[in-house]
Each structure stands twice: as C-alpha cells, then as structure tokens.
C-alpha cells in the first residue's frame, strides 16, 4: 500500500473550525432527549450494541422493532398496517442517534425529513389501502457518497462541506420510488480509499461490537450502524472491497453486485478503468435478497443507461435439491497469510458443501497478485491530483494510510489505454479458466484477518480478482465466536519468505478474539442477481406424527442434511462432524426406542463412551452457529434430562439460546426462521420445556429463555409435544422466574384455580392435563413453604394434600402404553417429593420401574432424590 506521510496540522481557523462547525450542526439535528448525557469510555462500554440494549433510552416497543433482523418481517408488518412507518422510522432514528454518539458512524442526519416522509407514506396507505412500493415505509441508511438532494456528500473532505447535492443520486431515486425512507447518511474514510473509516470532518468510526476495533472501509459507517441495529438495511459502494470488508469485520451479509445490475454514477477520477458499484449490507441473507429483488422492480435502467434492463428472476434463486454444483475454493492466495479463524471458516464451508453433495475443487490463485497490481495501478492513475485539489480547498492534510497516487503514478492517455488492454486480457483469461473448469461459484476469504484496531492498514489481494474481472461477490458470515478458541498469534510471515511485505503487518495487527469470520462467494456475471440469495429446495423432513420426542429426533437425524433455508439455516456442520453426530444421535435414539441395540463399547457397557463422544461432537457443532444444531441440542438436552445430568443440560440450553440470538431476537423473526427450518418450532418448544422444568426440579429461579420465546408456543401443539397444557406451563413459568415470591396471594389463587379445573379422567389427554395441573399446584405451594419446617403456608396444607392425592390417582389410572405416559416424569417427581403415605411412594416407584422396563430411563437422579427424602421422613 502506498502511504503519504501526514503533514503537520495548519493553524486553527481553517479546516479544523469548519469541521467542528459541521459536527456541531450534525449534533443539533439529534433531538435533545436522544443525546447521551456523557459518552462512556471504551473500557467501561466496549460494546456499543450491549450498551444501547441496556441503557434504557429505547422503549420496549422501540427495542422490539429495532432488534428485528430481517427487513422482510418489518415490511410485512408495514404493509398490513400492524406498524406505522413513522413508528418504525422513529425507532431506528433514535437507535441510530445512540449508535452514532458511541461510534461516529453517521454523517448527515435526516430525521425531520424522514419523519415527514414516513407520515406521508402512512397517509397513502390509510387512504388507498396500498403501498407505494416493495420497500414501503422502511428506513434505509445510505453511504455518504450517494447524493441526497439538499444534503452534503463530503466523502470525508472538509472542502466539500456546505456544498449540498442538487439532485438525488440514481440509487436514491430508485429507492425513493420503492418507498424507502432515508434517515441517515453514513461515515466513510477520506476519499473512500482506505480499509478504515476515518476523516477530518467526522473523525474515527469504530465497530459496534467492539469499540476498540475498526468496522472497515470504505462503507464502515454502514457496517457499524447495521451491526448496532440502528439500521436494518443499508446501501454501500464497492470498488475494491468497500462493501465486503466492512461486512466481513462486523459479521454482516454484503453484496457487491454485477456492475450492470445496480446504479452508481458517482465515480472518482479515472474510475472508468475499474468501475465502482453500489450494493446492500444487511444482517440476514433474506435482507440482501429483499433489497435486490425490490431494486430490480424499481427498473433502475430507466435512470441509468449503464444498467442492463433485466428483471429479477426468482426462479434462478432456487437450486433443485438434486443439482450438484461444482464450486472452487481458495484458502490462501499466496500473497497475505490467511489467519487461522478465517481459514477455519473457509474449511467448514467447504466441508458443509461437500456434505450437501457438491463437488469442491481447489482454485489456482497464483494470478491474484497480478489482479491487485492492475487494480492498484488504475486507482493511482491520476497521480493523486484529485486528492491534492480537495486538500487545497480547505488546507486539510491527507490521512495516513490512504491509497492515493503520487506524481510518478500518473498515466498518460496511451498508458491508460495500455492498462485497459491489460485489464481486458486478464479478465478474458480469468473467465476462460472459469469456463474450462465448468465452475458454478468460487469461495474464498473476504480478507485474511478478522479484527484490526484503528490506524492499522493491510494490503490484501483477495477482493481484487472479482473487481478486475467484473464478477459479483457476496460476503457470507460464518458466525463463529473465537473468544474461547483463540487462534495462535505466533504465525509468522517469514514462514513464507517469498510473500510480500504486507504479510508481516497482517499478523502483528490482527485481533481475532470474539470476531466473526466471513467467506466470500463469487459467481459469474450472469449470476450476479443471485449470488448470495440462493437456496436449495427444501425436502419434507418430517411427517405430522407427534407420537414422541424421540421419534421426531430420529426423523430429524435421518433428514438433517435436507434442511435448508434462506434465513441462515443453509449452513451445515462439517462432513466429519455431521457423520459422527448423526450416527451417535441415531444410536442413542434407536436404543431408547428399543428398535436397535446400542453399540457396545470396548468395555462391553452399552453406550456411555458413545454418548460422551457425541457430546464432544455437539460442542464442535455449536461453534458453527447453525440452526440445524438445534437438533443435536434438543437430543442431548432430552437424554441428559433422562439421565439426570442437569449441569450439562443447562450448558446446552445456554448454547441453544446463543444460537437463537444469532438468527432472531423477536417472536416474528423466530416465526420467519421456523418457516425455513422445518420443525424448529417444535425443537424450541422442547428447549423451553427443559428450561422451565430444570428450574423447577433444581428449585432455582431464573430462566435461560425469555418471555418472547414462550410467546411462540402454540397451545394445542405444545400439549402434543410435552404433554402439558400451555396454560399450566405458564404456572410453572411463574414459579421458575420467581413470580410466586413476588405475589404469593395471586399465586395461591392461581393454584386454587388450577385445582378447580381438574377434569374427569376419562381419556389419556384429560389424565395428563390433570396430572400437570396438580404438579403446578405442588410447585407453587412448594415454593411458598417455610424454609425450616418445609410446610405450606397456613391454610394451604389441604391444597397440597389434595394435589398429591389427585396426581397419584391419575398415575394409577394412566396405562403404561399411553403415548403421554413418558411425559409425566416431572409431575411424578414433584409428587414424589411431597408424598405423605407409603402407598403413594409405591405409585411413584412403579412409574420409575415402568420407565426402566421400557428402556426409557427418566430422571434417575430425581428418583434417588425421592428415595432419600422418603428415608428422611420415615416412609422407606
């Protein structure tokens, strides 16, 4: 990278004062009530995202709206009128204001205009019942270089302050036509030619996930704002990685489309040699697809002659499940050493694609250094004249680390023509190799590193081949958290002595811990519309039978590789992990079902070593942040419940919650994800059940999952899954969260109401419902009992006796062959801990014996706790 030595600052009263005045004007556009009283230090609040969530400035509704990950979810609610555009725009504007104060991610503040436009769109919908377009009412953030009429586009130059655009950019025109609402413009580096986002006008933009680190450049403001959930959909630009690098550093999806598929008219000097392109950044793959589909519906070719008049073709987004793709891959391009977290992300993607049946071929990257040289020569070809002119306008110095030409880089007309010819030759040869390889796509790292601090810059050739060849490229996040699996930092560039000097900087500056790794997906130009938003046809994974959890798990294991979806579920486990995990889950499931023998270990004992090995595989599977891993989590949570390993059970529930948070944080988002991952709702129901019942059995308060997770429960379906009525489950939940202690009178009344609802035991369904109503009463009364005497509150003894008697009676009436028999383990345990007569002990003991006889061990730890209690009170 060519760098200029930063000159000394000129005297105050020149560019410094103009920049300060511009920032003051910006702050004045933020409502006073949205301004933070003080900006927390980086050490006290390293994560802007966490600080925003916990601060309290956002209302519950605003948090709910802005925590929505998928634009399609909000657009659906806006179109139906469930949410007004004004409400949504205000929520994101407030959150953007908070994010900016913590990270310096925004430039122009457009709140007043945005509120007026949102109200106009709401009025149109109310008056006509129709939306103005596919992005109706959706707040969209836009990069500073894309003009908005009447607003500055400083692009990081003080000399451009106070020079508002005379018209909307082509991109903005199309998006307005589609119903988008612009509310902020976002920060960039000076001249937009740097992998950081710093300039003299606005200052240093940092990452929302870690304020010690950068968010990349040049669309760094966009990536920071979206990862802070201050935007749900943003527009950046790319000429050498300016969308892909920021997306990679913040764990987002980003797409640099085929040049002829998207408008972008604001190019820099000599950018006809290597042309820039605008494209979307979003938190979900579905968001990228939503944007690109809508943008093509806006007919961008009518405002930009460079855009091909090709409509969106949805049928091209679906690959038949029987089609075998031929995909190339690059792990290391030989120029800059790929660091271990990034290499692992690529390797896992390769393994997942192989497991899905696709052919993977290693791609020769030896020409990529040549691509970078051509790209850099084009970027520097004006000799730095444009940057010098802009510096002279204000007296500001160049920022260190910018890629800017020197006089010796200036190309004559003849040299420019020669460069164009060289570029065309490279492009033609690259595409010839692509076609000869009969390749559908190419995957590789976006950049070789995962985390950098401000004022560290790296040269990498990994973004340039697709630019030099005008190929579309998308960033695909591997949401892997490396905090507990840090990669070695001793990897030395000297191990590859033929590599270029930037390789050394690449090792010394990186900060891999707790950073996402992103894989680039490159397609040929004809696939530019669809790189990224492509998914396989889903096959039916399960039938309607809900006979038992273990049968469902067995079905999931048999069809796990068929699971696919557009909301992130397409990621699969590595081939080796998949094989081991599915095999061992099947062994365990089939043994429980009694349809196949458990594979014996070398010691001849059935299963424990296989079980432990499967748990190790699951630990590896969790790191893929894959919704499919819910299958394994649910399976092992179930078996650990059966075998009394409550500590492991809780650990996997935390893992499940972490996975869920990566993909959805609201009821609506979970519903959308569940449509893409067949059976996910049922898996979540099991996990919610395990969470609450674990707290009940352990006698603790506080749950891992939250209320909004439980809002997704379908009353009828939930009963079929776990055997407990949804209304009774809410009683258990109240006990588990400690609500009984807060409202003992209300809890007692709720218990009385539950007992009054007891029905006649005419059917297995009625018996099961009655058993759990009794169990809920026992749980409430047990939580209220005196800690020393272990007696219920005065007047409640009769209620406890009645509940235990009734539950034992139900157990005597329930046939062992009932489909609900095995669901009653928790209820039996709760009764067993409160029995007062030996015949009640016998009923509880018979239940455990019947479970063992059926090879379904249920809570052996709980059974031993019951027997210990019986001995203590003289019943055994």
Per residue in 242-288, pLDDT (tens digit) is 999 999 888 888 999 888 889 887 666 677 888 899 999 998 888 89
Q: Please check whether residues 96 and 55 belong to one and the same domain.
A: yes
Q: What pLDDT, on the 0 to 100 scale, is given for residue 686?
A: 74
Model confidence band, residue 558 (pLDDT cutoffs 50, 70, 90) = very low
For residue 5, the model assigns a pLDDT of: 33
Band (pLDDT 50/70/90 cuts) for residue 8 is very low
Q: Find the mean pLDDT for residues 854-863.
A: 56
pLDDT greater than 50 at residue 505 = no
Of residues 764 and 571, the one with the higher pLDDT is 764
- pLDDT at residue 514, rounded to an integer: 43
- Using CA atoms of 691, 693, 694, 699 in order, give the dihedral in degrees to the nearest 10: 130
Q: What is the pLDDT of residue 380?
A: 94
Alpha-carbon distance 395 to 407, whole Å?
Answer: 20
Tell me, yes or no, whether 658 lies in a domain. Answer: yes
Residue 542 lies in a domain: no
| Mean pLDDT for the stretch of residues 839-866 | 73
Kindly state whether residues 654 and 755 are assigned to the same domain: no
Whether residue 750 has pLDDT greater than 90 = no
**Residue 653: CB partners within 8 Å, gap ≥ 6?**
633, 637, 687, 690, 691, 694, 704, 705
Band of the pLDDT at 478, cuts 50, 70, 90?
Answer: very low
Best mean pLDDT range from 80-84, 113-117, 619-623: 113-117
Active site residue 540: no
pLDDT, position 2: 30
Per-residue pLDDT of 734-744, as tens digits, reads 888 776 655 55
Among the residue ranges 92-96, 128-132, 738-742, the one predicted with the least confidence is: 738-742
Do 433 and 567 lie in one domain? The reply is no
Task: Give the pLDDT of residue 816.
Answer: 81
For residue 856, is pLDDT > 70?
Answer: no
Is the pLDDT at 71 greater than 70? The verdict is: yes
Instruction: Identify whether 848 is part of a domain.
Output: yes
Question: 740 or 210: which carries more pLDDT confidence?
Answer: 210
pLDDT score of 88 more than 80: yes
What pLDDT, on the 0 to 100 scale, is given for residue 535? 36
pLDDT of 422 strictly over 60:
yes
Q: Does the residue 312 lie in any domain?
A: no
By percentage, how much of the chain surpasses pLDDT 90?
A: 36
DSSP-H helix ranges across 711-817: 715-722, 726-736, 739-742, 744-756, 764-784, 797-813
Higher pLDDT, 434 or 269: 434
Whether residues 674 and 773 fall in one domain: no
Domain end (from 687, 709, 731): 709
Looking at the domain assignment, is residue 808 inside a domain? yes
User: Percentage of the chain with pLDDT > 70?
Assistant: 67
Query: Which carries the bigger pLDDT value, residue 442 or residue 600?
Result: 442
Q: What are the start-end ranges of the E strands in 403-559?
A: 441-445, 473-478, 517-522, 535-536
Looking at residue 469, its pLDDT comes to 59
Q: Mark out the alpha helices in 356-399 (DSSP H runs).
A: 368-379, 385-394
- List the structure tokens of 874: 């003289």
> What's the rounded Cα separation, in Å, for the pair 38 and 22?
20
| From 9-23, 115-129, 657-671, 849-863, the region with the lowest mean pLDDT | 849-863
Which pTM value belongs to this model?
A: 0.63
Of the residues 644, 675, 709, the one at which a domain ends: 709
Catalytic residue among 223, 242, 256, 554: 242
> Are 105 and 59 in the same domain?
yes
Give the residue, 580 or 392, on which the prediction is more confident.
392
Which of the listed ranges 478-492, 617-631, 652-666, 792-806 does the model predict with the highest average pLDDT? Answer: 792-806
Q: Which domain does 182 fall in, by range? A: 48-304+323-490+508-527
Confidence of residue 560 (pLDDT cuts 50, 70, 90): very low
DSSP string, 684-725: HHHHHHHHHHHHHHHT----SS-HHHHTT--HHHHHHHHSS-
Lowest mean pLDDT among 341-345, 403-407, 525-529, 560-564: 560-564
Identify the pLDDT of residue 764. 83
Contacts of 612 (CB under 8 A, 6+ apart): none
**702 shares its domain with 816:** no
Crossing angle, helix 646-663 and helix 629-642, to 10 degrees? 160
Q: Mean per-residue pLDDT for 511-528?
A: 63
Specify the pLDDT at position 508: 45
Q: Do the domain assignments include residue 540?
A: no
- DSSP for 221-250? HHHHHHHTTS-SEEEEEESSSTTHHHHHHH
- Give pLDDT, residue 663: 66
| 164 and 214 assigned to the same domain | yes
CATH code assigned at 381: 3.90.1300.10
Backbone angles phi, psi at 5, to 5 degrees: -70, 125
pLDDT range class, residue 29, cuts 50, 70, 90 = very high
Q: What is the average per-residue pLDDT within 600-608?
A: 33
State which of 177-181, 323-327, 795-799, 822-826 shows the largest mean pLDDT. 177-181
Shared domain check, 200 and 150: yes
Kindly report, residue by residue over 561-579, the tens digit of the pLDDT: 444 333 333 344 455 555 5
One domain for residues 223 and 106: yes
Mean pLDDT to the nearest integer, 597-624: 40
Q: Whole-angstrom Cα distance, residue 137 to residue 233? A: 12
Residues 344 and 481 in one domain: yes
Q: What span, in angstroms and rounded, lies between the C-alpha atoms of 296 and 429?
A: 30
Residue 533 included in any domain: no
Mean pLDDT across the chain: 76
Closest CA to 193 of 214, 215, 213, 217: 217
> pLDDT at position 251, please?
84
pLDDT at 299 over 70: yes
Region 466-475: mean pLDDT is 63
Largest CA distance in the chain: 102
pLDDT, residue 7, reads 38
**pLDDT confidence of 497, banded at 50, 70, 90?**
very low
DSSP H or E stretch at residue 614: helix 608-622
151 given a catalytic annotation: no
Residue 515: the pLDDT is 56
- Residue ending a domain, among 651, 681, 709, is 709
Q: Is 218 a catalytic residue?
A: yes
716 within domain boundaries: no
Say yes or no: 740 and 673 in one domain: no
- DSSP character at residue 321: T
pLDDT, one tens digit per residue, over 145-197 is 999 999 999 999 999 999 999 999 999 999 999 999 999 999 999 989 888 99
Question: Are residues 405 and 513 located together in one domain of the fold?
Answer: yes
Task: Say which of 143, 185, 337, 423 is annotated catalytic.
Answer: 143
Report the domain count for the chain. Answer: 3
Q: What pLDDT is recorded for position 408?
A: 96
Q: Give φ, ψ of 234 to 5 degrees.
A: -135, 160
> Is residue 230 over pLDDT 90?
yes
């Amino acid at each position: 990278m060519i760098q200029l030595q930063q000159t000394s600052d000129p005297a105050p009263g020149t560019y410094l004062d103009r920049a300060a005045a511009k920032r003051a004007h910006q702050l004045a556009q933020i409502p006073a009530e949205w301004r933070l009283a003080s900006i927390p230090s980086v050490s006290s609040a390293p994560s802007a995202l966490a600080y925003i969530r916990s601060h309290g400035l956002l209302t519950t509704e605003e948090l709910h709206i802005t925590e929505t990950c998928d634009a399609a979810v909000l657009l659906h609610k806006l179109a139906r009128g469930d949410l007004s555009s004004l409400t949504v725009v205000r929520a994101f504007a407030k959150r953007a204001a908070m994010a900016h104060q913590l990270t310096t991610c925004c430039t122009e503040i457009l709140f007043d205009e945005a509120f007026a436009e949102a109200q106009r769109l709401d009025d149109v919908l109310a008056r006509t019942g129709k939306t103005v377009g596919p992005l109706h009412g959706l707040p969209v953030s836009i990069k500073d270089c894309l003009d908005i009429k009447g607003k500055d586009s400083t692009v990081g130059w003080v000399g451009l302050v106070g020079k508002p655009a005379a018209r909307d950019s082509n991109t903005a025109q199309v998006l307005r036509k589609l119903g988008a609402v612009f509310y902020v413009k976002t920060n960039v580096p000076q001249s937009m030619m740097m992998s950081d986002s710093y300039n003299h006008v606005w200052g240093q933009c940092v990452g929302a996930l870690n304020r010690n680190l950068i968010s990349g450049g040049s669309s760094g403001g966009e990536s920071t704002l979206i990862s802070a959930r201050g935007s749900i959909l943003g527009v950046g630009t790319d000429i050498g990685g300016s969308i892909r690098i920021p997306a990679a550093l913040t764990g987002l999806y980003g797409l640099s489309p085929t040049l002829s598929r998207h408008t972008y008219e604001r190019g820099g000097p000599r950018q006809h040699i290597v042309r820039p392109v605008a494209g979307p950044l979003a938190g979900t793959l579905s968001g990228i697809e939503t944007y690109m589909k809508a943008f093509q519906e806006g007919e961008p070719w009518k405002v930009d002659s460079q855009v091909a008049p090709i409509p969106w073709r949805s049928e091209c987004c679906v690959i038949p499940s029987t089609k075998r793709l031929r995909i190339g891959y690059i792990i290391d391009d030989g120029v800059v050493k790929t660091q271990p977290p990034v290499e692992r992300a690529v390797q896992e993607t390769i393994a997942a694609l192989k497991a899905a049946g696709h052919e993977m071929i290693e791609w020769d990257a030896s020409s990529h250094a040549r691509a970078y040289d051509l790209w850099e020569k084009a970027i520097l070809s004006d000799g730095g004249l444009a940057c010098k002119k802009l510096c002279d306008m204000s007296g500001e110095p160049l920022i260190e680390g910018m890629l800017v030409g020197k006089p010796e880089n200036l190309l004559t007309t003849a040299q420019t023509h020669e460069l164009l010819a060289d570029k065309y030759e490279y492009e033609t040869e690259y595409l010839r190799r692509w076609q000869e390889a009969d390749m559908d796509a190419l995957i590789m790292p976006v950049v070789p590193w995962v985390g950098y601090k401000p004022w560290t810059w790296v040269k990498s050739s990994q973004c340039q081949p697709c630019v030099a060849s005008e190929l579309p490229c998308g960033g695909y996040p591997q949401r892997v958290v490396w905090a507990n699996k840090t990669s070695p930092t001793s990897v030395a560039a000297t191990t590859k002595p033929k590599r270029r000097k930037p390789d050394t900087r690449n090792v010394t500056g990186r900060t891999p811990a707790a950073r996402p790794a992103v894989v680039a997906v490159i397609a040929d130009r004809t696939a530019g519309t669809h790189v990224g938003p492509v998914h396989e046809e889903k096959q039916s994974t399960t039938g309607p039978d809900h006979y038992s959890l273990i049968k469902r798990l067995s079905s999931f294991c048999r069809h796990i590789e068929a699971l696919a979806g557009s909301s992130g579920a397409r990621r699969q486990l590595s081939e080796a992990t998949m094989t081991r995990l599915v095999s061992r889950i099947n062994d365990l499931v089939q043994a429980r079902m009694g349809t196949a023998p458990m594979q014996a270990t070398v010691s001849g004992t059935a299963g424990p070593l296989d079980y432990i090995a499967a748990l190790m595989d699951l630990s590896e599977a969790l790191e893929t942040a894959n919704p499919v891993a819910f299958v394994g989590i649910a399976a092992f949570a179930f078996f650990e419940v059966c075998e009394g390993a409550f500590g492991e059970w809780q650990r996997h529930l935390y893992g499940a919650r972490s996975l869920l948070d990566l993909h959805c944080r609201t009821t609506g988002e979970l519903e959308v994800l569940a449509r893409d991952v067949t059976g996910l709702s049922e898996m979540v129901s099991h996990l919610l059940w395990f969470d609450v019942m674990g707290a009940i059995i352990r006698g603790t308060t506080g749950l891992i999952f939250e209320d909004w997770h439980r809002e997704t429960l379908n009353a009828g379906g939930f009963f079929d899954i776990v055997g407990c009525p949804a209304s009774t489950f809410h009683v258990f939940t109240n006990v588990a969260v400690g609500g009984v202690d807060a409202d003992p009178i209300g809890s007692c009344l709720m218990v009385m109401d539950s007992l009054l609802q007891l029905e006649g035991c005419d059917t297995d369904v009625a018996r099961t419902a009655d058993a759990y109503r009794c169990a809920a009463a026992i749980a409430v009364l047990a939580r209220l009992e005196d800690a020393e005497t272990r007696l219920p509150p005065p007047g409640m003894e009769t209620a406890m006796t009645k509940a235990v008697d009734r539950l034992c009676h139900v157990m005597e009436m329930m046939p062992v062959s009932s489909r609900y028999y095995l669901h009653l383990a928790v209820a039996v345990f709760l009764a067993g801990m409160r029995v007062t007569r030996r015949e009640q002990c016998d009923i509880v003991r018979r239940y455990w014996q019947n479970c063992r006889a059926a090879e379904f061990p249920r809570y052996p730890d709980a059974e031993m706790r019951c027997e210990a209690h019986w001995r203590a009170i003289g019943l055994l």
